[in-house]
Homo-oligomer: A and B are copies of this chain.
């Protein structure tokens, strides 16, 4: 992969100068991404779409063929003239490793460059010794490789709950597992020096990335917010196809915005956070208090129980989830007004009862939306078929293969 020139951030402009190598790298990345997104696609179509001369396209495509990142195949049923040579991503050649470290479970996967997961495994998260656990994770990942007869990994991506300094591969603050300033990048580089591309990111942000790269919606998503509804609420904000990281890597903490002055106590210590109303934790608490009030005896349930009950038309469960839907709607309205995204994509167990929550969400949002365009907002469950946070880890790794400099106007 191409070596990058030093990037100097000076005042109001990110200064990156351009030389011929950067030019090639930008155009190569652009063509490779076009093939990824539009396959099958011919050289001539790439030329017309990109504006690059067809001989330039041929030259870059020839490089990509040599690198075995793509392959070509004659198209048969053309109407007139010579048939184009369709280009496709080549699978089965380059692989990446994905790790998702969650408070309870850590999951592993090997993924191909199209985001398909080749093999998976998981272990309980052992957070007391960060360095040892990350090394243990790498052993697990390499074990998966061996099992699948994969000799080496192009890149590794790690997604994790908490605030992550992705630029420096450091987990700054992960209260759920008690980690602070853990340099995951350094640990991995030490353990696996042969793997040059390591990415580390927040789980909700990486889920957003997975949705951006591998989501299947009718929309052309480039501006959206991915909402990860779990015990808490996390999010990833995507603006013009890029993740908004935040100055201190803490963007998208909508879960801790105050919606109710003097409201319910949140795990963060403040009162009235959105999370204290719309998260799984809040939903479960509300359900329990309802049942306890009704029956007098205490119950012990988890989110999945409430969902199953609702799917079986249990009245209290349905009522509880509808309330959660309304609370979700309130917070989502504020997100829409803040960011003005094209869509809100939701992930988490709760999307199993989409039919229950969606009408509540959209009613609130429509009522509160104040501009004509904002009423067009799309609120959708994630289209991903595998766990977004794990695919997100894979996506961060895959991104290092496809991405390079980008040029913007």
Interface residues of A (CB under 8 A from B): 4-20, 22-23, 26-27, 30, 33-34, 37-38, 49-52, 163, 172-173, 212-213, 220-223, 239-241, 244-254, 256-261, 268-270, 330, 333-335, 337-342, 367-368, 370-374, 376, 404-409
Contact = CB atoms under 8 A, between A and B. Distances in A.
Given A49-B8, A246-B339, A408-B406, A258 B14 contact: no
Nearest to A23: B18
Top 4 nearest A-B pairs by Cβ distance? A246-B340, A248-B373, A247-B342, A251-B340
A261 B274 CA distance: 12
B18 A173 contact: no
B340 A13 contact: no
Contacts of A372: 173
5 contacts: A8-B49, A15-B30, A247-B340, A257-B334, A407-B407
B258 A261 contact: no
Contacts of A18: 18, 22-23, 26-27, 407
B13 A270 contact: no
Given A5-B51, A258-B368, A404-B409, 7 more contacts: A18-B18, A18-B26, A173-B371, A247-B340, A254-B338, A258-B330, A405-B407
Contact of A27 (B17, B250, B268, B376): B17
B340 A408 contact: no
Contact of A257 (B38, B49, B213, B338): B338
A254 B339 CA distance: 9
Given A12-B241, A30-B13, A258-B330, A406 B407 contact: yes
How many copies of this chain sit in the oligomeric assembly? Answer: 2
B37 A337 contact: no
Nearest to A255: B337
Contact of A10 (B34, B252, B370): B34
A220 B247 CA distance: 12
A319 to B, nearest CB: 19
Given A368-B258, A407-B16, A407-B22, A341 B247 contact: yes
A387 to B, nearest CB: 21
Q: Which of A253, A338, A373, A408 has the most CB of B within 10 A?
A: A338
Contacts of A213: 12
A4 B26 CA distance: 17
A37 B333 CA distance: 39
Nearest to A254: B338
A266 to B, nearest CB: 9
Contacts of A17: 26-27, 30, 50-52
A132 to B, nearest CB: 25
Contact of A337 (B6, B12, B257): B257
A372 B376 CA distance: 37
Nearest to A250: B340
A195 to B, nearest CB: 20
Contacts of A38: 10-11
Contacts of A220: 9, 11
Q: Which of A12, A30, A368 has the most CB of B within 10 A?
A: A12
Nearest to A235: B338
Contacts of A4: 409
A260 B261 contact: yes
Contacts of A49: 8, 10, 15
Q: Which of A5, A15, A17 has the most CB of B within 10 A?
A: A17
B37 A221 contact: no
Contacts of A371: 163, 173, 248, 250, 253
Contact of A408 (B14, B244, B258): B14
Nearest to A209: B12
B51 A37 contact: no
Contacts of A22: 18, 23, 407
A12 B30 contact: no
